[in-house]
């Protein structure tokens, strides 16, 4: 994997670049739709390519490990072939899912022992086994096993957690370099910066991560309960240290405004379930603001979902029709809303890139943050 930095916006840390993988080139900043089980919910792969314009999608190691399982994925020749996706894939380590099972997991120096949310069976994730699992999945970019503490964790807990994450990282990085890909194309390994909301810990973690010299780096443990301003502060603290010649991936973020603010602070890659999860529940994100499609106000509004502006809008469907589908519990409602929201997110980061290259990102971003947070 290679990263080419093309431009940095004036009066901002916002960057435009290119990530080159064996499955294609990614233009940054980029948003990655979340395909937890090898499927972006309610969205066909054809729609991801043609309508959403997704350049890379994300899979989840924990869920794919449990089902369909690594044996099936290895027989299929990896996740790309299994799901019919010929563009890049990133997999997270599954750590966040394991640690969200607080009553069904136990941490130790060896790794994380947990019970499956499906059948209660017992499993162990170690830094080494998570690398092996992601080798079998065949993702273009894999993540290190880490602990993701809650945003409200106190300093002592955050420090102990970070020490464990750092020891796990060194083992995972060593094992990654001692093993090889299985399917004839290269894979990259990203370490993750933790440290909750404590600048001292974040700086230490960022320095430790940067010193590894990995092809890219991730920022984890944010958008997990801490105030949004603290999240922005931690991004700034970390990006003062992470190398500028490697992509920076902010994990699990967020709203359109969060994404624009993260880009402004030097983030290159983001993912979140929000566009699809909120879409399935009737919330549409647009360049003019947010719409709740279950609201009575849309019942006789026969205008398109968006009448002007970005090309991501599917003008075939009216607001009234989409509201009708949601009220009637039609599956098509979830599909239309999910595609719409994902296409908007990809349009938004694409516009951010265009304005970075044009040199007017800062003024554009200020206007867009105000617009995308409106309630329509």
Q: Which residues are catalytic?
A: 92, 271
Q: Tell me if residue 158 falls in helix, strand or coil.
A: helix
Q: Are 175 and 131 in contact (CB under 8 A)?
A: yes
Measured from the Cβ of residue 363, the count of other Cβ atoms closer than 10 Å reads 12
User: The tokens of 299 are what?
Assistant: 């019942």
Residue 131 · residue 176 · CB < 8 Å: yes
Is the distance from CB of 266 to CB of 241 less than 8 angstroms?
no
Q: Distance between CA 249 and CA 190 in Å, rounded?
A: 9
Going by C-alpha positions, the residue among 234, 32, 242, 212 that lies closest to residue 139 is 32
Q: Are the C-beta atoms of 284 and 321 separated by less than 8 Å? A: no
Specify the DSSP element, H or E, that contains 145: none
Strand order in the sheet with 105-107: 105-107, 112-115, 122-125
């Amino acid at each position: 994997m290679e990263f080419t930095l093309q431009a940095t916006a004036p009066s901002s840390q916002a960057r435009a670049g290119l990530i080159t993988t064996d499955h294609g080139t990614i233009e940054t900043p980029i948003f990655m739709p979340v395909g937890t089980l090898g499927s972006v919910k309610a969205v066909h792969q054809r729609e991801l390519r043609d309508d959403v314009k997704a350049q890379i999608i994300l899979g989840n190691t924990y869920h794919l490990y449990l089902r369909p399982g690594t044996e099936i994925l290895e027989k299929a020749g990896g996740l790309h072939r299994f799901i019919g996706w010929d563009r890049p894939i990133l997999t997270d380590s599954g750590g966040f899912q394991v640690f969200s099972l607080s009553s069904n997991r136990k941490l130790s120096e060896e790794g994380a022992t947990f019970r499956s949310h499906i059948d209660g069976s017992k499993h162990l994730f170690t830094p080494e086994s998570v690398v092996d699992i992601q080798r079998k999945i065949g993702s273009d970019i894999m993540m290190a096993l880490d602990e993701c503490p809650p945003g409200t964790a106190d300093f002592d807990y955050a420090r102990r957690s970070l020490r464990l994450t750092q020891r796990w990282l060194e083992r995972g990085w060593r094992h990654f370099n001692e093993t090889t890909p299985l399917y004839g194309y290269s894979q990259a390994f990203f370490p993750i910066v933790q440290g909750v909301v404590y600048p001292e810990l974040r700086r230490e973690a960022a320095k430790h991560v940067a010193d590894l010299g990995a092809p890219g780096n991730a920022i984890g443990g944010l958008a997990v309960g801490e105030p949004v301003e603290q999240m922005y502060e931690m991004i700034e603290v970390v990006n003062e240290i992470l190398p500028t010649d490697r992509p920076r991936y902010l994990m699990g973020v967020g709203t359109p405004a969060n994404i624009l603010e993260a880009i402004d602070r030097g983030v290159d890659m983001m993912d979140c379930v929000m566009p699809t999860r909120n879409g399935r529940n009737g919330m549409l994100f647009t360049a003019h603001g947010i719409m709740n499609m279950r609201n009575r106000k849309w019942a006789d509004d026969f205008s398109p979902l968006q009448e002007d502006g970005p090309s991501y809008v599917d003008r075939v469907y009216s607001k009234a029709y989409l509201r009708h589908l949601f009220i009637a519990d039609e599956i098509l409602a979830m599909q239309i809303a999910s595609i719409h929201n994902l296409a908007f997110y990809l349009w938004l980061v694409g516009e951010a890139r265009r304005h970075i290259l044009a040199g007017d990102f800062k003024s554009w971003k200020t206007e867009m943050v105000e617009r995308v947070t409106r309630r329509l």
